[in-house]
Amino acid sequence: MTTSVAVVGATGKLGSQLCQLIRDSDDFTLAAELRSTSDLNEMLAADIVADVSLPAVSKSVLEFAVTHGKNILVGTSGWSTERIASMESLFAANPQVGVLFVPNFSLGATVAAHVAAQVAEHFESIEIIETHGVTKIDSPSGTAVATAERISASRGGDVPAPHAEQRARGELVAGVPVHSLRMLGVLAKQDVVFGGIGETITVSHLTTSNQSYAAGLMASLRKTVGLSGVLVGLDKVIDL
């Protein structure tokens, strides 16, 4: 038995990749491909919804899916812990609906963030440098935000960041300075730099192909089927 999927943001890079993965899959079928001009009602033909649209659109997609009883995979950037918490009343009113937020579908990036959270327990100086291509609209990236939040959680509080009031010091996310680069010739790269007395350590991840997202996308879709409640992170999908 197959599960039908409505992909919102189907014409974007990630959306196009997801649509093709679904077409090639034995356990999923593509029920609808929604783009900027589409009516959200088109997603009602599907069993589940995958939102890989834009940060400005994602909230309305999520609200529509949840209020219509559709489990949804949210892969759109911009869903910080605070933003997810702001939707608590929606989730509480629809407890039977499953919502899975995944800021990054790369297995390597997920493992790197997990390692960074462990290392963070032993260092006081911590900063994140994330680099993406010039077409990425949002900054900091969802991956950087999620990494900073995991670091803060593992430490039990914010990182002491000197001179944080200076604009050149980056944006503070959960107390961690994050520096965003948008450059030609880059797909995605993230460095988490830790400083101690007389030493530094860097946890680095480099994405060289969108194919790195394939395994995480399909694992997340499978997790969305039958899910109840809210789950955040690919690490929860792969039981990291």
pLDDT for the residue numbered 69: 98
pLDDT for the residue numbered 179: 98
pLDDT tens-digit map of 125-177 = 999 999 999 999 889 999 999 999 999 999 998 888 888 889 899 999 999 99
pLDDT for the residue numbered 159: 86
- Give the CATH architecture of domain 3-105+211-237: 3-Layer(aba) Sandwich (3.40)
pLDDT for the residue numbered 41: 98
Low-confidence ranges of the chain (pLDDT < 50): none
Considering the chain, tell me which residue range(s) the CATH 3.40.50.720 domain(s) occupy.
3-105+211-237
The conformation of residue 226, written as its DSSP 8-state character, comes to T
pLDDT for the residue numbered 161: 86
Predicted TM-score (pTM) of this structure: 0.89
pLDDT for the residue numbered 13: 93
Return the axis-axis angle of helices 214-224 and 13-23, rounded to nearest 10°. 70
Active-site residue 236, yes or no? no
Given 132, 179, 205, 223, the catalytic residue: 132
Q: Strands 28-34 and 48-51: what pairing?
A: unpaired
Question: CA of 116: how far to CAs of 111, 144, 186, 232, in Å?
Answer: 9, 11, 22, 17
Helix, strand, coil percentages, rounded to 5, for the chain: 40, 25, 35
Considering the chain, tell me which residue range(s) the CATH 3.30.360.10 domain(s) occupy.
107-208
Three-state secondary-structure class, residue 176 = strand
pLDDT for the residue numbered 160: 85
Q: Which one, of 50, 17, 52, 45, lies nearest residue 31 by Cα?
A: 45
**Was domain 107-208 assigned CATH 3.30.360.10?**
yes
pLDDT tens-digit map of 15-33 = 999 999 999 999 999 999 9
Active-site residue 114, yes or no? no
Quote the Cα angle for 22-28-29, to 5°: 75
